[in-house]
Each structure stands twice: as structure tokens, then as C-alpha cells.
Structure 1
Amino acid sequence: MQQFDRGGLTFAVREAGPGDGEAVVCLHGFPQGPEAYDALTPLLTAHGLRVLVPEQRGYGATARPAHRRDYALGELVGDVLALLDAAGVRRAHLVGHDWGGVVAWATAARHPDRVASLTALSQAHPAAFGAAVPRSSQALRSAYVAFFQLPTLPERVLLARGGAVLSQSLRRTGLPAALADGYARRHLAPGSLTAALNWYRALALAGPVGAVAVPVTYLHGRRDPFYSRTAVAGTARHVRGPYRRVELDTGHWVPELAPGAVARAVLAAAEGGPRS
């Protein structure tokens, strides 16, 4: 499949692998796009898995609603369910990085019947993240979130000099220059960065994310500047099913810089799992 529709929006999808393979849905974060999983996809399809990587809400011109409420977490989860339905998939293995990890955690918590396993990349469980804010360095690490709440100014700053400011900020967090430049160029399209920032601006509409009962593997980089040790350690308290935490010698950009580790986690979860 190349696209699916929901609520008048059309979402682009990258699909690879055999149509009858177990389905893996990979959800990108901010400010990435589906290309964040380009290195991972062939590692999974080589083992017979069907990989679906959607361009998430706001990241494509045909799925870019105007209002902040359109980016509430419930809408983002609804997009994942619509993708599964359109692809004819009953249950999928979810992989989510950064904001895509938030969506993956919420989908697994609210719709465990549709999720075979969860591989969370960098992103701590949202409840663990919230609990860590007053008890650790998490508030300082997340200070940019408050900046993103401002109207217009974040767009003007990040897109200054043709997106060079955004690219340079990504490089400083360990993302290679070619990828940083590519993500910055993506958001030069009219309305693109505002839509991506609306994920942050709709945080007040997110609602709680409960405990997750499906098998979870949590991969995080020990040099990730965005997540405190308290948030990382606290994630285990919100998983009721089998749980494994893997610390990697990397920073925040796990799918791009450690695709082999991600592939091993997903393949381990898929062994003996239910067919789609």
C-alpha cells in the first residue's frame, strides 16, 4: 500500500516486505519523517517481515489539518488504527521513536488487542516521563517544550537561514549532518513545521497513558540529552507484560544510528508471535 485515508486526510505509507509477513509499523518522531527507518527496513524485510512506515499527521501536505486539537494524542492513535485496518492487519509489532514512541505507548495501552509487541526507542513511558519532571533533571532537559508552545516564534527561529538553525540544533544532539539537513528541508514546506509543532501544542489534550500489558523492549541511548535517568528507570513500573530495557552506546537518534540493535529487538519480539 502507498496510502490510507482517515477523516478526510490522506496519509502516505512506505511498505516493504512480503504482504503475508508479520506486520511491523514504524512511527517516526520530531522532526523526522519515514526516512528515519530507511536503514532498519531492509534488516526486517530480510527476515520476512512486512514493514509499514506512515508519514504521520502533519508531516505530509495531504494530512495536515489546521487546528491544534487535530493533533491530540487520541487522533494520533486513531491514525495508527486506521493504518492497520487499511492494511488488513489485525495485530502489529509497533516501533516508535520520540513522539512516535508516545503514540506507540498510547496505542499499546489503549488497544492491546491490536498490538503484538512494542519496541520503544528513546521515549520513556509518558507517565514515567511526567513523574520525572519534578524529581530530576527532566524539566531542564525538556525546556524546549515550553518554547514550542509559543505561537509563530519557534517557526521563525528554527527556519531561519533556510532551516540552518534547525539543522544545526539537530547536529548538536548527535544527528549526522546529511540527515539533519534532510529533516530541516522537509519542514521548509509551507505549514510543515507548524503542524509538527502542533503535536507539542496539543499536549494538554493528550490524556493519561495507562500501563502496557503487551511485551515491551525499551531501547535508549546512554548519551540521550532529552531523557533523565529517572524517566528511563521509571518506565518499568508502567509495563505489566514482559519487559526488557537495553541501553545503547548512542544518543537520541536510535533508529538512524543503531538500526541493527532495533532490528534484533523487533525480530526477537516477532519470534513465535501471532501472524497478522
Structure 2
Amino acid sequence: MEIQLGELTFDVLASGPESAEPVLLLHGFPQTAHSWHRVVALLNAAGLRTYAPNQRGYSPGARPEEVADYAVPNLVRDVVGIADALGLDSFHLVGHDWGAAVAWSTAIAHPERVRTLTAVSVPHPAAFAWARANDPDQVKRSEYINLFRMPGRAEEVLLANDAESLRKVFGTALPVEDTEIHVRAMSEPGALTAALNWYRAAALSEGAAPPARVPTTHIWSTADVALGETGARKCAEFVDAPYELRVLDGVSHWIPDEAPEAVAHAVLSRMAGTSAG
């Protein structure tokens, strides 16, 4: 379906029983809503209604030009606006990578709208900021962000030689056909720049983010090359609600693709109130 928010048009993948409990799923970089298709199938089979939008910059009709347009508050407004357009007073929220960062910020800003939060890979913004400031391991893991913030240069590097470096980002965690879906989307004119603008617009004051006050599960994987253990362990300090950290041994950063059953189980357990915490 398409959802119009002002001048922006968002493509949203909707499936599952229309009258069932709603789950919003937010993808990360450099993926599209397609990244959720395995998780969505499991949630739909469990009787849930799912909505997975191609977020700002990823939907061709929602690709503003200014870097500031991609600041987190705008991304949060998109989530709430999509929920409003769908008639959802409240919803379960799931996010991976950048989608997790937006999901955290949405839950913090609008706890009355978010029934449960499942944040995959990326911890609470304050936990991540603390790790980047205090953990040499996380500092090294985050070095790629410096490249991604370089206008023009990042696009050149990632798209050179038929997007060779962009494909390498995924490693071997995704089937070739799934990698190609994302690479094709990011190769569209303006698409990669819009996606990278999330990094370029990111505030440096993330450590000031208040605690989340909704029931939360954070999923972190030990083979994630971008996100280390420090931020994942620190995350518990920034949730004032039932909370659980789930650690997936040997799984890469691409958790929804590589371990969809673990993600779906975490979402369903959190919804049922059976997670630890």
C-alpha cells in the first residue's frame, strides 16, 4: 500500500489478518522493508497484522533533498504518521539497525503509542553513545560511520565496480537474491544518498536520550561486526520497564535475515509478557 504524509509517499508492505494486533517493522541500512519478509511470514502465521514501510529516503516518493530532512525527529514523525494513517492508536514496534535507532526514539517520545519494543542489533541511543565514547572496541567498529558521512565519497566507494563494496557489506549472511534486491534499490538515482543522509543528519547528542518506558527486548548477536557487547550490556540501564537482552551466538549483524525465528520468538514472547525482566 501507499501512505501519503504531506508531500511524501511511503510504500508499506502490509500482511496478515486485518483485525489482528498490529506490528510495525522498521528496516535498517542499506536494506528495504524486504529485509523483514522471513520474520513477517512467522508473525503472520502467529495471527498478527504486520506493516513494514520503506522509510524516508527508501521509498522513491519520500526522498527529500536536504540532509536535515533525515534527522531522527523527522524519522520518528514518519512512524507516528504512518500509524495514524493506518488508524493505529497503539502498536508493537520492531526495528533493526537504523530502524532500531528510530524505534528506540519513537518509544521514548511516544510511550503511549508503543505497546512493546523489540530492538534488533542497535541498543538504546544513550548506551550506544556511551560505548562509542568509552569502549575502544566500539570506537573501532564505528569507524565506517566517518566514511558514510562524507558526501559524494561514500556513494562513490559503495557503488564503484557495480556496487562491489555495497554487496560486501552483507557478507554471506543473505542469499544472493536478497542482496540483489537491496543493491538494486540502493542503486536507483538518489537512493543511496538519501539512505546515507541518515548518518549525516544524526545528532551527536544521543547520550542525552532519556530511558525508554515501554516493555522492551534487545537482541544482539556475537558476530556483529558493527556493534560490540559493551553497548548491548549497557542497554539495561536505559529501560525503565520490563526488559530482556537476548544474545544470539555466531549470528551476524543481519539478524532478521539470518535468524528470523529468533526475532519472531522474541517479539511474540515480549507481546505475551513472558520475556524475562
TM-score range, shorter chain: over 0.9
Match of 2:112, SS state, is helix
Matches of 2:52 and 2:148, distance apart in 1: 26
1:159: which partner in 2? 159
Alignment of 1:196-207 (within 5 A): 196-204=195-203
Alignment of 1:111-130 (within 5 A): 111-130=110-129
Instruction: Give the drift of 1:133.
Output: 1.3
Matches of 1:52 and 1:169, distance apart in 2: 26
Percent of aligned pairs sharing the same letter: 44
Counterpart contact for 2:13–2:52, Cα < 8 Å: yes
Instruction: Give the drift of 1:272.
Output: 7.1
Instruction: Give the drift of 1:83.
Output: 0.9
Counterpart contact for 1:57–1:64, Cα < 8 Å: yes
Provide closer, same or farther for how the CA distance between residues 206 and 78 of structure 1 changes in structure 2, counting only shifts above 3 A: farther
1:18: which partner in 2? 17
1:262: which partner in 2? 263
Aligned AA (2:260) = P
Answering whether residue 60 of structure 2 is matched by residue 61 of structure 1, we say yes
Instruction: Give the drift of 1:134.
Output: 2.6
What CA deviation, in whole Å up to 9, does each residue of 1:135-165 have, x standing for no partner? 2111110001111111101101100122122
How many correspondences in the alignment? 271
1:171: which partner in 2? 171
1:271: which partner in 2? 272
In the superposition, the TM-score normalised over structure 2's length comes to: 0.94
Matches of 2:31 and 2:53, distance apart in 1: 12
Instruction: Give the drift of 1:206.
Output: 7.1
Provide closer, same or farther for how the CA distance between residues 169 and 266 of structure 1 changes in structure 2, counting only shifts above 3 A: closer
Matches of 1:141 and 1:179, distance apart in 2: 25
Answering whether residue 239 of structure 2 is matched by residue 239 of structure 1, we say yes
2:49: which partner in 1? 50
Aligned Cα RMSD in Å? 1.6
Q: Which runs of 5+ in 2 are unaligned?
A: none
2:33: which partner in 1? 34
Counterpart contact for 1:92–1:115, Cα < 8 Å: yes
2:149: which partner in 1? 149
Instruction: Give the drift of 1:98.
Output: 0.2
Counterpart contact for 1:72–1:205, Cα < 8 Å: no
Instruction: Give the drift of 1:179.
Output: 2.6
Instruction: Give the drift of 1:204.
Output: 2.6
